A and B are shown apart, each in its own frame.
Chain A
Amino acid sequence: MNVDFSHYPRPGMYDELVASEGVARPAAQRLTDYLGTIPQDEFEARVAAVNAAIMTMGITFTVYSDAGNIDRAWPFDVIPRIIERHEWTRIEAGLKQRLTALNLFINDLYNEQRIIKDGIFPAEVLAGSKNFRTQCRGITPRYGVWAHVCGTDLVRDHDGTMYVLEDNLRVPSGVSYMLENRQLMKRLFPELFRLCEILPVDDYTTQLSDTLAALAPFDSDERPVIAVLTPGIFNSAYFEHSYLAQQMGAELVEGSDLVVGDDDCVYMKTISGLRRVDVIYRRIDDDFLDPEVFRADSTLGVRGLLRAWRKGKVGLANAPGAGVADDKVVYTFVPKFIKYYLDQEPVIPNVPSYLCMYEHDRDYVLANLDKLVVKPANESGGYGMLMGPCSTAEERAQFAGLIRANPRNYMAQPTLALSTVPTYVDGNLAPRHIDLRPFVLQGKQSYVTTGGLTRVALCEGSLVVNSSQGGGSKDTWIVA
Chain B
Amino acid sequence: MLSRVAENLYWMARYLERTEDTARLINATTSVVLDMPHGTAFGWNMLVKAASLDELFSKHYDNAYEDSIMRFLIRDERNPSSIMSCIHLARENTRTFREVLPWEAWEGINELYLYAREHLQADMSRSARFEVLNAIIYRRQALVGLLAGSMSRDVAYQFLRLGRNVERADMTSRIIDVTTAVLLPRNDEPGTAYLNLLWLSVLRSLSAYQMYRRHVAVHVRPEQALDFLFNDAHFPRTITHCMDEVGECLAMLPKNTDALRALRSVQRRLRGADLTHLVDGSLHEFMDAIQGDLAALHDALSQQYFYFYRNQAEQPAAVAMGSAQA
Contacts and interface: CB of A to CB of B under 8 A. Distances in A.
A243 B304 CA distance: 29
A238 B106 CA distance: 14
A256 B4 contact: yes
Interface string B65-89: 0000000000000000000000000
Interface in A454-471: none
B318 A272 contact: no
B318 A262 contact: yes
B34 interface: no
A303 B110 contact: no
Given A270-B309, A272-B255, A261 B111 contact: no
A262 B1 contact: no
B107 interface: yes
Contacts of B110: 55-58
A250 B315 CA distance: 25
Given A246-B103, A257-B4, A262-B317, A274 B309 contact: yes
Contacts of B218: none
Contacts of A58: 95, 106-107, 110
Given A55-B114, A262-B317, A275-B322, A270 B1 contact: yes
Contact of B315 (A262, A265, A275): A262
A254 B96 CA distance: 10
Contacts of B315: 259, 261-262
Nearest to A271: B305
A259 B4 CA distance: 14
Given A56-B110, A251-B2, A271 B254 contact: yes
A268 B326 contact: yes
A478 B102 CA distance: 30
B300 to A, nearest CB: 13
A257 B106 CA distance: 23
B324 A275 contact: yes
A254 B95 CA distance: 13
A253, A259, A265, A271 pick with most chain B CB within 10 angstroms: A271
Contact of B111 (A56, A250, A254, A256): A56
B97 interface: yes
A340 interface: no
Interface string B300-322: 00001100011000111110011
Contact of A274 (B95, B106, B318): B318
A452 B250 CA distance: 46
B267 to A, nearest CB: 23
A263 interface: yes
A257 B99 CA distance: 16
B127 interface: no
A56 B114 contact: yes
B98 A242 contact: yes
**Residue from A57, A254, A261, A273 whose CB has the most chain B CB atoms within 10 Å:** A273
A121 interface: no
A252 interface: yes
B56 interface: no
A268 B1 CA distance: 9
Given A246-B103, A268-B326, A273 B321 contact: yes
Contacts of B309: 269-270, 273-274
B224 interface: no
Given A56-B107, A57-B110, A233-B96, A253 B2 contact: yes
A85 interface: no
B30 interface: no
B92 A252 contact: no
A250 B254 contact: no
A270 B324 contact: yes
A46 interface: no
Contacts of A246: 98-99, 103
Contacts of A253: 2
Nearest to B92: A233
Given A56-B114, A259-B316, A262-B318, A271 B3 contact: yes
A276 interface: yes
A267 B310 contact: no
Contacts of B103: 246
A60 to B, nearest CB: 9
Contacts of A95: none
Contacts of A374: none
A269 B316 CA distance: 10
Nearest to B318: A261
Contacts of B316: 259, 261-262, 267, 274
- Interface hub of A245, A249, A256, A274 (most chain B Cβ within 10 A): A274
A268 B114 contact: no
A157 to B, nearest CB: 40
Contact of A245 (B4, B99, B254): B99
B160 interface: no
Contacts of A269: 2-4, 309-310
A238 B95 contact: yes
Contacts of B305: 271
Interface of A: 55-58, 70, 233, 238, 242-243, 245-246, 249-254, 256-257, 259, 261-263, 265, 267-276, 303
In the A-B complex, the 7 residue pairs with the closest CB atoms: A273-B324, A261-B318, A246-B99, A270-B326, A269-B309, A272-B254, A245-B99
Given A274-B309, A275-B326, 7 more contacts: A55-B110, A56-B114, A246-B99, A259-B315, A261-B322, A272-B1, A273-B321
